Chain A
Amino acid sequence: MSGFSVTEPSQRQKWIAGLLVITYAMVTLMPLLWIIATGFKSPEDAISYPPKVLFEPSLEGYVNLFSSRTRITTGMQESLQPAETWYEQVARDSGTIIVGPSRYGQRFLNSVVIGFGSTFLAIVFGTMAAYAFSRFKVPIKDDLLFFILSTRMMPPIAVAIPIFLMFRQLGLNDTQLGMILLYTAVNLSLSVWLLKGFIDEIPFEYEEAALIDGYTRFQAFYKVVLPQAATGIASTAIFCLIFAWNEYAFAVLLTSGNAQTAPPFIPTIIGVGGQDWPAVAAGATIFLIPVMIFTILLRKHLLRGITFGAVRK
């Protein structure tokens, strides 16, 4: 090829850009790789210095994460029947026996129920509120919108105590329902604002066409507006889920047993005798998976959603 193009970057520019992106990705992905790798190390390898890049993979961290164990003496170990399952074997190899499941599974389930539940509600209510704000004459609309946004301006710590007191009166302390309601309320401000932006972009004519074609207002909303807002809904849902999934402050303050989510629980995973870093890392790794899957499933929408408006056909 000869000459140069105005719109196409040159070969060298492409190389430089690629190099920059790879460097940036390495820097940001390093902690993630570290966590994933540590999850598969033995406790000794996890704290060895200098850090081991190549190591013999072990499932000890994962076994420890999901079980509670007790330490036994070598003598006792010899008197036991041979281990029946692979995870019992892993536990025995480190000088312990499994006495029951850990609480991680249940905490994880809490995270799933609370995270997805609150995201679902924030999206359902958010879409309807955003539609109303976008399409109808709402008195003091701007003030209402600002008020909705302002609910998110306070740090959780500032409102945690009143919420704690309220929840205690209502019997919502340390319940899944309480946490779902709380996260829904916090996420609503985000979802109303984001979705209003997306719905504003959808020309009103589509709904009018549907009204003329013999549909009711509500049918026009869910048959014409919703499919076109799908992109916005998907990206909003991801943001809501990420917030609810990672939320730490409220979760620490308002949950303890029943409804505790994974974030406050993970740091409390401490092995029998010493910090069990592989188990903590395993807990963090598994914790990442649902958001990752959700994001990957919706990523096509996400990309379009974030660039929405800029590249409208």
Chain B
Amino acid sequence: MAQIIIKNLRKDFGDFTAVKASSFTIEDGEFFMLLGPSGCGKTTTLRMIAGLELPTSGEIFIDGEEVSQKRASQRDIAFVFQMFALYPHMNVRQNISYPLKSQGMPRAQIKAKVAEVAKILGIEDILSKPVGGLSGGDRQRVALGRAIVREPKAFMMDEPLGALDAEFREHMSEELRALHDRMGATTVYVTHDQLEAMQMGDKIVVMNHGSVEQFGVPQQIYDWPASLFVADFIGSPPMNFLHFNGAVGEGDSKVSLSGQVFDIPQQLQAASGDLVFGVRPEHVSLNDASAYKGKVLAIEYLGTTQVITIESANGVLKARVASADMVEVGQQVGLVFNPRTISLFDKSTGAALLSDANKGVLDHG
């Protein structure tokens, strides 16, 4: 088991830079999520860690050893492919034992190991079946079996649930997480599904256009996004952005929006010009006493809560409120924002402005 440190990792494909100067640390035993939209360089990053792709520059440390230019076979890492890549000409048992054969392990020992792994994964009864006819879930388990049988230093998984249907994904993700908790092996998991990342990950790195936008534990990333991109990518519905032109000074704990003054966490960074006031939908509440008004555009009923779309002077926003709140489309409502949850962003750079509240999260990143 191992700690993985990525330093200034970069990958160019010809003129195109797929991964730009990425740095982050994966602690020993962590379930680590690489999250980002399609084409942002997640797979490329994972493949560089595994040794399937050589970085253009930068360093990768696995267990303290710099491995960026080493062969995949020398890194002692297992990789679970999106389409599983089970060897089609072998049966389940042969697939799982294949990595052990390359190490020249004696037959009897291989047999014992395969049996042990099959037991953990609950696939003892399909060991002698060809992989061709297996269901998606069983293929997934065989692919996992082939990965864990070697007891590698770390697991790389590239959207391992992507090939499964929605219903089964949920089940498999629980199974995967349980397996991880049981074995405690460092796991790097690629996904573009922010919900999956939030649910399963100990830590998340959010990537966009080849760069790391933010890295940290799910709750912190959700509460204190480092950039407009992260704020928008994570959460459904995502964070609301109220655009305004104004200024905040260092030490300010109020900001003025369309003539209304709102309490915000104390700012540690001054900024002026085009700014963005960010608030999560669940921190917006309706109160007719408020002078900041908006018009209800739509109502989405979700059982215990409802999501209300409101047009305000600073743009459209969504509020997640209790279903009991009575509102109607077209109604004028007063809006209140929970002051301790507000993030301000500089619109031109997209970066969050440092405040008393988010400094703990953003400082280390």
Q: List 25 A-B contacts (CB under 8 A).
A: A206-B85, A206-B88, A208-B72, A208-B85, A209-B79, A209-B85, A209-B87, A209-B146, A210-B87, A210-B98, A211-B51, A211-B52, A211-B71, A212-B50, A212-B52, A212-B73, A212-B78, A213-B73, A213-B99, A213-B102, A213-B150, A214-B73, A214-B99, A216-B73, A228-B89
* A34 adjacent to chain B (CB < 8 Å): no
6 other contacts beyond A214-B150, A219-B102, with CB at 8 A cut-off? A205-B81, A208-B79, A212-B50, A212-B99, A214-B102, A214-B103
**Residues 38 to 86 of chain B near chain A (Cβ within 8 Å):** 50-52, 71-73, 77-79, 81, 83, 85
- One digit per residue, 1 when the CB lies within 8 angstroms of any chain A CB and 0 when it does not, for chain B 139-178 equals 0000000100010000000000000000000000000000
In this complex, the interface size class of chain B, counting residues with CB under 8 Å from chain A, is 20 to 34
> What 7 A-B pairs have minimum CB-CB distances, sorted nearest first?
A214-B102, A205-B85, A213-B99, A227-B89, A209-B85, A214-B73, A212-B79
* B132 adjacent to chain A (CB < 8 Å): yes
- One digit per residue, 1 when the CB lies within 8 angstroms of any chain A CB and 0 when it does not, for chain B 164-195 equals 00000000000000000000000000000000
**CA A224 to CA B146, docked complex, whole Å:** 15
* A24 adjacent to chain B (CB < 8 Å): no
Contact B98 A213 (CB under 8 A): yes
Contact A313 B81 (CB under 8 A): no
**CA A210 to CA B99, docked complex, whole Å:** 8
**Residues 144 to 199 of chain A near chain B (Cβ within 8 Å):** none
* A294 adjacent to chain B (CB < 8 Å): no
* A274 adjacent to chain B (CB < 8 Å): no
* A15 adjacent to chain B (CB < 8 Å): no
**CA A50 to CA B11, docked complex, whole Å:** 81
The residues of A that contact B150 with a CB separation of less than 8 Å are 213-214
Knowing A213-B146, A216-B73, A227-B89, the reply to whether A208 touches B102 (Cβ < 8 A) is no
| B interface with A by C-beta (< 8 Å) | 50-52, 71-73, 77-79, 81, 83, 85, 87-89, 98-99, 102-103, 132, 146, 150
The residues of A that contact B72 with a CB separation of less than 8 Å are 208, 211-212
**CA A213 to CA B87, docked complex, whole Å:** 12
* A203 adjacent to chain B (CB < 8 Å): yes
The residues of A that contact B99 with a CB separation of less than 8 Å are 212-214
Contact A211 B88 (CB under 8 A): no
Contact B85 A215 (CB under 8 A): no
Chain B nearest CB: distance from A207 CB in Å? 9
Chain B nearest CB: distance from A209 CB in Å? 4
The residues of B that contact A210 with a CB separation of less than 8 Å are 87, 98
The residues of A that contact B132 with a CB separation of less than 8 Å are 313
The residues of B that contact A216 with a CB separation of less than 8 Å are 73
Chain B nearest CB: distance from A210 CB in Å? 8
Q: Closest B residue to A313 by CB, please name it.
A: B132
Q: Closest B residue to A214 by CB, please name it.
A: B102
The residues of A that contact B78 with a CB separation of less than 8 Å are 212
**CA A57 to CA B103, docked complex, whole Å:** 64
Chain B nearest CB: distance from A220 CB in Å? 10
The residues of B that contact A211 with a CB separation of less than 8 Å are 51-52, 71-73
Contact B83 A205 (CB under 8 A): yes
The residues of A that contact B103 with a CB separation of less than 8 Å are 214
**Residues 264 to 313 of chain A near chain B (Cβ within 8 Å):** 313
**CA A95 to CA B87, docked complex, whole Å:** 66
**CA A267 to CA B102, docked complex, whole Å:** 56
Q: Closest B residue to A227 by CB, please name it.
A: B89
The residues of A that contact B83 with a CB separation of less than 8 Å are 203, 205
**CA A305 to CA B85, docked complex, whole Å:** 21
**CA A313 to CA B134, docked complex, whole Å:** 12
**CA A197 to CA B348, docked complex, whole Å:** 50
Contact B102 A209 (CB under 8 A): no
Knowing A213-B146, A214-B99, A214-B103, the reply to whether A208 touches B89 (Cβ < 8 A) is no
Chain A nearest CB: distance from B94 CB in Å? 11
The residues of A that contact B52 with a CB separation of less than 8 Å are 208, 211-212
Chain B nearest CB: distance from A42 CB in Å? 53
Chain A nearest CB: distance from B47 CB in Å? 8
Contact B102 A215 (CB under 8 A): yes
**Residues 204 to 238 of chain A near chain B (Cβ within 8 Å):** 205-206, 208-216, 219, 224, 227-228
Chain B nearest CB: distance from A219 CB in Å? 8
Residue from the set A214, A228, A313 with the largest chain B CB neighbour count within 10 Å: A214
The residues of B that contact A313 with a CB separation of less than 8 Å are 132
**CA A173 to CA B146, docked complex, whole Å:** 55
Chain A nearest CB: distance from B83 CB in Å? 6
**CA A209 to CA B147, docked complex, whole Å:** 10
Q: Closest B residue to A206 by CB, please name it.
A: B85
Which of the residues B50, B87, B102 comes within 8 Å of A206, measured between beta carbons?
B87
Contact A203 B73 (CB under 8 A): no
Knowing A213-B99, A213-B102, A224-B87, the reply to whether A208 touches B73 (Cβ < 8 A) is no
Q: Closest A residue to B76 by CB, please name it.
A: A214
Contact A203 B85 (CB under 8 A): yes
**CA A210 to CA B146, docked complex, whole Å:** 11
The residues of A that contact B89 with a CB separation of less than 8 Å are 227-228
Q: Closest A residue to B74 by CB, please name it.
A: A214
Contact B81 A208 (CB under 8 A): yes
Chain B nearest CB: distance from A226 CB in Å? 10
**CA A227 to CA B91, docked complex, whole Å:** 13
Q: Closest A residue to B149 by CB, please name it.
A: A213
The residues of B that contact A224 with a CB separation of less than 8 Å are 87
The residues of B that contact A219 with a CB separation of less than 8 Å are 102
**CA A228 to CA B77, docked complex, whole Å:** 25
**CA A180 to CA B52, docked complex, whole Å:** 40
**CA A224 to CA B85, docked complex, whole Å:** 11
The residues of A that contact B51 with a CB separation of less than 8 Å are 211-212
